[in-house]
Copies of this chain bind each other. A is one copy, B any other.
Amino acid sequence: MAQPRRLSADARPVPEQPDLSPLDDKLGFWLRLAQQASFDALHRGLGPLGLTPGRLGVLLMLEANPDIRQALLAEALHIKPSNLTVLLAALEQDGLIRRTEEEGNRRANCLRLTAAGRALLRQGEAAEAEAERQLAQGLSPAERAALLAALRRIAEA
């Protein structure tokens, strides 16, 4: 493709309106920005509660899967077990979860929400729902479903 070479056509000193075309049609670029917007929206609602998206994910999965083991939980959250360890240590420190040895397998940990954890989870869920609403506010239900399907296909490829 012929490239319009600008040899000396720098008449204007500095372009005040940069050419954005190189990034404008890149999936990777817009995925980054959209994910960033998502994180920001979540952070606004979750931050005051002392939560992050990662921490909320743990609480959500723990409520639906009591006594789950760490390896399985890490797999479900798509994070590494080594990173989950740190996350869980902080959550336990904050009194939101409890770690006990699994019966008959002293090396495995049994994870469970505490009452405080369940209470905070309810607030977190509300904040998360609000963030989700903000994100999808410009999309029709059909568009949102299509977006979700496309994201899933990309993530699972």
Q: Is A61 touching B132 in the complex (CB atoms < 8 A)?
A: no
Q: Is B157 touching A27 in the complex (CB atoms < 8 A)?
A: no
Q: A28-B42, A28-B53, A76-B20 are in contact. Are A153 and B128 (CB under 8 A)?
A: no
Contacts of A69-104 to chain B: CB distance below 8 A? 69, 72-73, 75-78, 100, 102
Q: Is B155 touching A37 in the complex (CB atoms < 8 A)?
A: yes
Q: Is A66 touching B6 in the complex (CB atoms < 8 A)?
A: yes
Q: Which residues of B have CB within 8 Å of A19?
A: 64-65
How many monomers of this chain does the complex have? Answer: 2
Q: Which residues of B have CB within 8 Å of A102?
A: 14
A48: CB under 8 A from chain B?
no
Q: Of all chain B residues, which has the CB nearest A132?
A: B27
Q: Is B68 touching A18 in the complex (CB atoms < 8 A)?
A: yes
Q: Which residues of B have CB within 8 Å of A37?
A: 154-155, 157
Inter-chain CA distance A4–B137, complex, in Å, is 30
Q: Is A151 touching B67 in the complex (CB atoms < 8 A)?
A: no
Inter-chain CA distance A61–B37, complex, in Å, is 22
A144: CB under 8 A from chain B?
yes
Q: Is B147 touching A150 in the complex (CB atoms < 8 A)?
A: yes
Q: Which residues of B have CB within 8 Å of A100?
A: 4
> How close is A132's CB to chain B, nearest CB, in angstroms?
6
Q: Is A32 touching B53 in the complex (CB atoms < 8 A)?
A: yes
A152: CB under 8 A from chain B?
yes
Q: Of all chain B residues, which has the CB nearest A54?
A: B32
A36: CB under 8 A from chain B?
yes
Q: Is B147 touching A22 in the complex (CB atoms < 8 A)?
A: no
